[in-house]
Chains A and B, each alone.
Chain A
Amino acid sequence: MVTAVFLVAAALAVVFSIITIAHRSPVINVLSLVLVFFAMAAMFAVLGMDFLAAIQVIVYSGAILVLFLFVIMLLNIQQVERLGSGRPLQALLGAVGAIALGALVIVAIQGLTPSQGAVLAGSENGTVVPIGRALLGSHLFAFEFITLLLVAAIIGAVFLAKKELR
């Protein structure tokens, strides 16, 4: 059951990620990326990482992709170019290189010993309590630094999008 859910979610993620990079309408690109993120949230949930599944849906699908949709509507992009149009040599080299990269990684993965998954389903490992303890314990500095990063990003975004940029 767990295996079936994982395989279906992985297949959906791959299919919709291909639609994301290949379709010509930006709105359909973003909406299929939402489905990719939902499939990834399903994978996280089935692997026992409840907290990550929740923030994947809330932060990624709920906040970041809505921002993308807003910008697409703001800039009024109707259709974009076909995948790899205009530069056939560059497109061919890019596709071959990327597929070779993926194949290389998969060959490298073959060399690993395939351990059985070990997150204890139904235990507390993926819930907010141990992750919160780790965040505010051993990772406290990085956690505080993320807040600084977000503030800097917000100020930078406001500055960049202001009208009198020349």
Chain B
Amino acid sequence: MSPGDLVPIPHTWVLATSAVLFAVGTIGVLLRRNGIAIFLSLEIMLNSANLAFVAFAMKFAGSADTMAAALSGQVFVFFVIGVAAAEAAVGLALFIALHRLKESIDVDRVNILRW
């Protein structure tokens, strides 16, 4: 591919992929009871958001005056990955503490604050 070729993929395709992945992640979050499995579904949802950022970065990378917006899209994916790393560390530490307390990470058994 020579420099200057346009990527022949409409940004709507990327957005559609992102929507499908987000729906799959939502199903996982709503239907799983195991804490780690819920967390993995959450990572799928975060990544589908990344894909949406990338789709709009693609859209705005076309002309020179929207180039800042296109770069911001990629920078935000970087930030989302940073936040996801922090969230994974804290969340997994929470599950370790929970497992020590309850011998299980089934979220249905964590009901002290319920009702």
Contact = CB atoms under 8 A, between A and B. Distances in A.
Interface of A: 2-3, 6, 10, 13-14, 17-18, 20-21, 26, 29-30, 33, 36-37, 40, 43-44, 46-49, 51-52, 55-56, 59-60, 63-64, 67-68, 71-72, 74-75, 77, 80-81, 83-86, 90-91, 94-95, 97-99, 101-103, 105-106, 109-110, 112, 114-123, 125-126, 130-131, 134-135, 138-139, 142, 146, 149-150, 152-154, 156-161, 163, 165
B61 A120 contact: yes
Interface in B62-77: 62, 67-68, 70-72, 74-75, 77
A117 B81 contact: no
B89 A157 contact: yes
A149 B82 CA distance: 9
A126 B73 CA distance: 11
B28 A117 contact: no
Contacts of A14: 17, 20-21, 24
Interface in B37-68: 37, 39-41, 43-44, 47, 50-51, 54, 57-62, 67-68
B96 A52 contact: no
B85 interface: yes
Contact of B6 (A49, A120, A149, A163): A120
